Structure 1
Amino acid sequence: MTPSCEAILNDPAASEWLKLALVSALERDPVDAANDAEVLAAVLRGRCDAVLFAGESVNNLLDALQDELRRNSDE
């Protein structure tokens, strides 16, 4: 279940960024605010995926390098 605006604003665990964004959105036309929130969520999701994928790529590269070093030290 999605929390209400009041629940988020009163939740001490909710981030200040979220609370400020919510207060700002509540002062706007609800359709415009919802549309902008969807765009923002998509952009942030894409950024998150890019960061996580980059981290995976680095980890895969490090694993491959460690494997190569082990093989070279065995020779």
Structure 2
Amino acid sequence: MSDTPPDRLSAHPKSPFYDEALLMRGVGIKFNGEEKTNVDEYCVSEGWIRVAVGNKVDRKGNPLTLKLEGKVEPYFKSDAPEGE
């Protein structure tokens, strides 16, 4: 496993950018210098994050999200597992 988080990552299992191994390791996000804990998806190269809007859901039961643009800085919360 690389020590650098991917350019784009999603917490939604149906997304092509979903990676369970990385999410289990723990990825933190600093957005415009502020720690965010409710990020559903991010893209560093395009400079945006998607955050959940309260407890609201769409008609399919997925959380409603809001796209915010700015400086995105992902980091791993823990070290890579041994042997990888």
Q: TM-score, normalised by structure 2?
A: 0.22
Structure with greater strand share of residues: 2
Structure with greater helix share of residues: 1
Q: Of the two structures, which has the highest relative contact order with CA contacts closer than 8 Å and spacing of 6 or more?
A: 2
Q: TM-score, normalised by structure 1?
A: 0.23
